[in-house]
Amino acid sequence: MSVILVRSVLVCSALALGALSGCKKTPPTDGTANNHPATTPEPQADSGVAVADSGVAVAAPAGPHAEVPGEHCTLAATLNAPSAVPGQTTVEVKLEARDGFHINELDEVQLQLEGTNATVRAELARTDATESSQDGIRFMVPAQVTAASPSVRGRLRFSVCASVCIRQRLSFAVALP
């Protein structure tokens, strides 16, 4: 069995005014309006992460289920087997916050997917999630398996927060034999 290559890119932003409750916005000290969530912009490049032209991080699939640990969260992805090939199936992507952190509801969530021998929607947002709360997010994405040995690779971007917010990108890959 091959090992999933996963790299999460973390960008931390310390909140200057001390411990805040949840992900409330902080008033800026320079007198300007603050209309953005309490996270820093993500970096332009993922050092050490191979990125395909579509922007989806490439990882080696190990099987139909993958678990990816993040900082204060866990991502689980499952590619369900279709009843026949070609056939319709689903990809389940589930993110759970832990360690007293929660999913930032003020920041965007973006799921990018790419399939081999499978057709999936390329990009989804929080509004496309089956379930979404501060405890976690769950996507059930329809997939059309077009040939034998399908695989789906993806990357989930989100932020978790406690007294600080941490922006993360977690990559995964799942495949059927």
Q: What is the pLDDT of residues 19-60, one digit of tens each?
A: 333 444 333 333 333 333 444 444 333 322 222 233 444 467
- Asked if residue 97 has pLDDT above 70, the reply is yes
Structural domains of the chain, with CATH:
9-175 (2.60.40.1230)
**Distance between CA atoms of 120 and 162, rounded to whole angstroms?**
33
Half-sphere exposure of 37 (CA within 13 A, CB side): 21
Question: Which pLDDT band holds residue 156 (cuts at 50, 70, 90)?
Answer: very high
**Alpha carbons 80 and 1: distance in angstroms, whole number:** 18
pLDDT of residue 59: 60
Band of pLDDT at residue 62, cut at 50, 70 and 90 = confident
pLDDT, greater one: 40 or 148: 148
Mean of pLDDT over the chain: 75
Whole-angstrom Cα distance, residue 165 to residue 152? 29
Mean predicted confidence (pLDDT) in 115-133: 97
